[in-house]
Amino acid sequence: MIAEELGKDVRVVQRPVTPENRFDLVTSGEIDLDCGSTTNNVERRKIVAFSPTMFVTGTKLLVRRGSGILNLRNLEGKTVMLTRGTVHETAIPKLAERQKLGIKFVFASDHQESFQMLAMGKAEAFANDDVQLYGILAETKSRADFRVVGDFLTYADYALMFRKDDPEFAEVVERAFRRLAGSREIVAIYERWLLKPLPSGVRLNLPMSPHLEELFRVQGLPSD
């Protein structure tokens, strides 16, 4: 889309980021666009800019099957993994404090480390957005040993992230989303990654929520 806007070839260089370093890489100019599971919220908009919403999710708990843990209250006196640099790092401890739950929180540098700590028995739960938990399980041979449980503890709108104070680039991103929605290509992209088999052969099988479908309609998605 950006290449079409500029009318010339654009070389795309993919660079891996972590929940911790993604904001520094964007604000420093080392990367131009963060295309990941980044939540758009008020605090973050103070330092970066965001595209329209591309996915809606929320925090749930990943636990061992048979643990008896069904919700946050069941974690009284237990240990929960959180990943640094995520909204959960502060939101879930605040929620536990409001509910007066004596939960020990341990912080890992990335989601895989958080999951490994749970798998090794060093924590009773891993709190993260449900779509990311399902994604981790889809790539794990021992996925039958775990389950995602509970109601949503928080809600989050994912969006692409880029530098603030670049209105021309922001407009390019906005137009790209309107074009994707108007042509229904945005639905095909969703189905490719969240309903159909992934390159690894596994399937997440997460139908589009009515909330996300309505947000896409606001962006220009035609009604059926």
pLDDT by residue for the chain (224 residues), tens digit each?
667 766 777 788 999 999 889 999 999 999 999 999 999 999 999 999 999 999 999 999 999 999 999 999 999 999 999 999 999 999 999 999 999 999 999 999 999 999 999 999 999 999 999 999 999 998 888 889 999 999 999 999 999 999 998 999 999 999 999 999 999 999 999 999 999 998 878 888 889 999 999 999 999 999 86
Same domain, 14 and 92: no
Token code pair at residue 129? 């957005």
> Which domain does 109 fall in, by range?
57-154
Helix crossing, 167-182 with 185-194: angle to 10°? 80
> What per-residue confidence (pLDDT) applies to 223?
82
Report whether 216 contacts 181 (CB < 8 A): yes
Q: Measured on CA atoms in the order 127, 19, 2, 13, is the torsion positive or negative? A: negative
Same domain, 35 and 81: no
Same domain, 68 and 145: yes
> What per-residue confidence (pLDDT) applies to 202?
82
Q: Is residue 70 part of a domain?
A: yes
Q: Where are the beta strands (DSSP E) in 96-201?
A: 104-108, 125-129, 146-149, 155-158, 161-163
Report whether 222 contacts 184 (CB < 8 A): yes
> What per-residue confidence (pLDDT) applies to 6?
67
Number of domains in the chain: 2
Q: Is residue 97 part of a domain?
A: yes
Q: Is residue 184 part of a domain?
A: yes
Same domain, 44 and 93: no
Read off the CATH number of the domain in which 177 is found. 3.40.190.10
Q: Is residue 128 part of a domain?
A: yes
Q: Is 70 helix (H, G, I), strand (E, B) or coil?
A: coil
